Structure 1
């Protein structure tokens, strides 16, 4: 998902109800700088990626997510580990340890989760 598509999805997820193109343009600061066709292009891409669905209501489409924000984040994390760490979760965690990005508190929390 591109940064622009992500901004649109973050707005839609936060809205918690189906939204129209005009609502997106009115409520998303970045969208005010985009032409309506640009917003529609982003929405079309999101539909093709099966992240968003559109329902025709009167003269306007209403857009709502096909996946939750959490489901999207989980997908991105798995994809990152696959692409950057060749699918190795251990490689990912080792990288965090080697760079000092993980604290002892983090490790203790992980250990507690692993014991469950």
Structure 2
């Protein structure tokens, strides 16, 4: 299941804070801040999608992520590669490196990351 753009924005705040009450989440937004009812609705949808959980602290709810940012991003990337690049990481890498206009140093850094990963797989 996927998050909407507004849900992703809220999720990013929750990943940053790790645990947060509604007031903490609202404070993370720049002015003009969204209405508390908007955040409440988003949190309810995200709970239904199993991205967010909460603990009751008195009458308040302290929210926390049920999915790590890394796992969400990884699943999102795999879907992107499957849907837009014929399930080919090589096609994705080719597009990514051509369109991003990396410097030689940045490409060397990417090469080192890939070589390190290959060494660890052996």
Question: Normalized against structure 2, the TM-score is what?
Answer: 0.76
1:39-73 per-residue CA deviation (whole Å, 9 max, x = no partner) reads 01111121122111122222111110111111111
Count of paired positions: 114
Superposition deviation, residue 95 in structure 1: 2.1
Residue aligning to 1:107? 111
Q: 1:66 to 1:100 in 2, by over 3 A?
A: closer
Structure 1 position 2, deviation (Å): 2.2
Q: Within 1, Cα distance between the matches of 2:100 and 2:64?
A: 40
In the superposition, the TM-score normalised over structure 1's length comes to 0.79
Give structure 2 stretches of 5+ with no counterpart: none
Could you say if the C-alpha distance between residues 57 and 114 of structure 1 is closer, same or farther in structure 2, counting changes exceeding 3 Å? same
Match for residue 45 of structure 2? 45
Where does structure 1 lack aligned partners over 5 or more consecutive residues?
Answer: none
Which structure 1 residue ranges, 4+ long, deviate > 6 Å from structure 2? none
RMSD value over aligned CA atoms?
A: 2.3
Q: Which residue of 1 aligns with 2:20?
A: 19
